[in-house]
Structure 1
């Protein structure tokens, strides 16, 4: 049996050696007491007083407070270095963002065309206000179905394939409309377009919200939407005065084909998580519960539902102004077909507002924007001047412009990123219900009371939007 007092080779960290050297020796601890066994010797080594423990703690703290350069290089090498995206990843991120912006441009191009074409569609199909407003309803039904199916499609086939599927729906819809079919088929074309645009809205907003500097990028992306809606009346108004007005949809078809090719080349049918990694962004950490019950988890998000009701009123207001202002000016202010250019003024104001005004806060300033827009809308209602009305409508667009990007930014800061695509799709789809209800309600009221009922309705719903925004939760750090 080996002698218990024989020395042993033990590797001890430097810090531990320093501590042990300051502790009382075995001889001092056991003075006058013979060491009878290995066990008693080990026990005597552990009997240190409180003063010795304090000394050891002081030594440990001083070791921790030393500069990093003087510590062990082994410990330092274990700390991972946080690196930003490489120049190649940044370029790829810009390309992805540009592709999303072009998709938003196509969304605006689609939405901005209805207003200038609406009187021509009404005359061509010989339908009244109530029947022609069914186009808005058809578009919104497609949008709602698209928003709901986006959740399943995004999970099953991924971001890239879902985006391309949405574009194919637009291609089919524009092909149907360009043929000048019977009114029911023409309305079905609107439904197909709505389905595709719902997925554009959800996927595009979700991807841009996850990018660095998302507040600016969201404003720019939605300004792209406004740009599309700004320029399309310039083309649609010209086609509206031609016998073959439906050939306008061939231009939309061409843009959809270009966008389809662009999305295939840029995103290459890849999933959202893979695209994040390629651009140097943090991946999404999915839990088992989130993969199996995404929709159930979404239904528990109170911020999502509040934003959805606000979006319903806001989107309805936006589409009602852009869709009916041309008819209003022709009916009450004596304007001709060129009144379609007033729609361009509205969408142009919307575009500028989304770039220029998004910097001025995200909460209380929204109330100021809506109050100013309400006052301007009252002037359109009460002042019988075509020039004043055209200017006021453009300014209404200016102050309405930054609201939707700010709302999407609020969603990005309050909703977990793993649920963001589905949640934004739900908010957009629910909001699109307003783009059917309000224009359809406008057509019904116009049938009964005349087109003069447009402005009182708009002022009322804008006041409702003002109240609803007060209920939207303030942005905070989301829990992913």
Structure 2
């Protein structure tokens, strides 16, 4: 009996101590989260209820990620205009205006992206986005009047806006997001690398007309449409709602809430400047090397290939450096290096120096965009990722279009 009482007393004393410690802990004021400093911990929040997906788990994700990679490869091949000046007898300034029309489609994608996800899920994006590539490419292959080209590129911009936001947000929220996002964006750069080579072979060497290039694009877009539709067929609107639950007390729509978040606009401003520089360099580097550095057409084309090739390599290899250094530190280091390379490219009057600087510039520019996407995915609520990526993508598309027009007019 005495032993029993003693044990009870010990148990009560232990419970009392535990309760006292718990109460004291609960009364300790919480420290202020350091969300304002993005250089602090930006690791994905872990939870037993909602674990992060991986690129290879569940197994279907391997096919879905592959479809995303192919879609971005197709998108990267688009960022060129081959032979349009001569065929339509237009100035560089007028031709460069065709880069503005996709921005209108991108803006439209901003307004409907979230509602499409809610109603049709990723399946809807996987069907509509690639079709907005395939159908315009078929029309472009018929070399229609220039006004029709401008209209078709509006649809292309709409498709780009849909897949940009959907695939970047989905992959950016995965485990090992830096590496997978780096490969995703590398596929875009690879498309930009391959396109000038194909165009040079078909147009310069083969003597073919510019619209023959779109036959190749039709084949690539057909693969994109089939693979994306098959891979994401099970991802309906109901699945999206279940995977991205919202607070029942929320009074604003997802898109409106994303647009009201300050990180969305910081992200959009960053991407505006980044894509403006990237697309302007990639789009006009051949013209610059030919006119200013007196390079042959072949050597100028190889410089463009070096720029996009450097970007492809940088987005793959430097993604591992980014994962080790952290997103914030990496962006600062890459930007500083890019500034120095840009000065060399511009100020040193040498073809070799400019060509080498262009390749290295592409390499260190490459990781900036996927790194920014991953950083936003870590700092913003999951249900707002699509809206933030659409807004930033719209800013980037406008930055690219604006930069190309300004450089073209200059």
- Fold conserved between structures, TM > 0.5: yes
- Equivalences for 1:342-361 in 2 at 5 Å? 342-358=303-319, 359-360=321-322, 361=325
In 2, Cα distance between the equivalents of 1:143 and 1:411?
Answer: 20
Q: Do structure 1's residue 441 and structure 2's residue 406 form an aligned pair?
A: yes
Q: Which residue of 1 aligns with 2:367?
A: 402
In 1, Cα distance between the equivalents of 2:55 and 2:259?
Answer: 40
Contact 1:144 1:432 in 2 (8 A): no
Distance 1:398 1:89, change over 3 A: closer
In 1, Cα distance between the equivalents of 2:93 and 2:50?
Answer: 60
Normalising by structure 1, report the TM-score: 0.72
Q: Which residue of 1 aligns with 2:278?
A: 318
When structure 1 is superposed on structure 2, of 300-309 and 186-195 the one drifting more is: 186-195
In 2, Cα distance between the equivalents of 1:272 and 1:154?
Answer: 6
Distance 1:276 1:91, change over 3 A: farther
Normalising by structure 2, report the TM-score: 0.83
1:82-118: CA deviation from partner (whole Å, max 9, x where unpaired)? 999899943222222112111111111222x33xx2x
In 1, Cα distance between the equivalents of 2:337 and 2:123?
Answer: 40
Q: Do structure 1's residue 216 and structure 2's residue 184 form an aligned pair?
A: no
Q: Do structure 1's residue 336 and structure 2's residue 299 form an aligned pair?
A: no
Contact 1:178 1:249 in 2 (8 A): yes
In 2, Cα distance between the equivalents of 1:284 and 1:400?
Answer: 32
Q: Which residue of 2 aligns with 1:452?
A: none
Q: Which residue of 2 aligns with 1:22?
A: 5
Contact 1:320 1:439 in 2 (8 A): yes
Q: Which runs of 5+ in 1 are unaligned?
A: 1-17, 24-51, 65-79, 278-282, 447-480
Q: Do structure 1's residue 309 and structure 2's residue 292 form an aligned pair?
A: no
1:228-267: CA deviation from partner (whole Å, max 9, x where unpaired)? 2111211022233334221101111111111111112211
In 1, Cα distance between the equivalents of 2:258 and 2:118?
Answer: 14
Contact 1:148 1:429 in 2 (8 A): no
Q: Larger Cα Rg: Structure 1 or Structure 2? A: 1
In 2, Cα distance between the equivalents of 1:350 and 1:124?
Answer: 31
Q: Which residue of 1 aligns with 2:115?
A: 152
Q: Which residue of 2 aligns with 1:294?
A: 254
Give how far 1:291 is off: 8.1
- Equivalences for 1:67-466 in 2 at 5 Å? 89-111=57-79, 113-114=80-81, 117=82, 120-241=83-204, 242-268=207-233, 270-271=235-236, 274=239, 283-290=243-250, 293-338=253-298, 339-358=300-319, 359-360=321-322, 361=325, 362-444=327-409, 446=410
1:426-471: CA deviation from partner (whole Å, max 9, x where unpaired)? 1111221101111111122x2xxxxxxxxxxxxxxxxxxxxxxxxx
- Equivalences for 1:41-52 in 2 at 5 Å? none
Contact 2:117 2:240 in 1 (8 A): no
In 1, Cα distance between the equivalents of 2:303 and 2:166?
Answer: 31
Contact 1:144 1:430 in 2 (8 A): no
Query: Segments of 4+ in structure 1 off by > 4 A?
Result: 18-21, 52-56, 59-64, 80-89, 289-292
Contact 1:154 1:162 in 2 (8 A): yes
SS of alignment partner, residue 84 of structure 2:
helix
Contact 1:178 1:247 in 2 (8 A): yes
- Please give the root-mean-square deviation of Cα atoms over the aligned residues, in Å: 3.1
In 1, Cα distance between the equivalents of 2:244 and 2:211?
Answer: 45
When structure 1 is superposed on structure 2, of 392-401 and 367-376 the one drifting more is: 367-376
In 1, Cα distance between the equivalents of 2:96 and 2:236?
Answer: 38
Q: Which residue of 1 aligns with 2:33?
A: none
In 1, Cα distance between the equivalents of 2:107 and 2:277?
Answer: 18
SS of alignment partner, residue 58 of structure 2:
helix
Q: How many residues align?
A: 375
Q: Which runs of 5+ in 2 are unaligned?
A: 20-47
In 2, Cα distance between the equivalents of 1:91 and 1:138?
Answer: 39
Distance 1:131 1:82, change over 3 A: closer
SS of alignment partner, residue 288 of structure 1:
coil
Distance 1:414 1:84, change over 3 A: closer
1:273-309: CA deviation from partner (whole Å, max 9, x where unpaired)? 73898xxxxx333223558522221122111110101
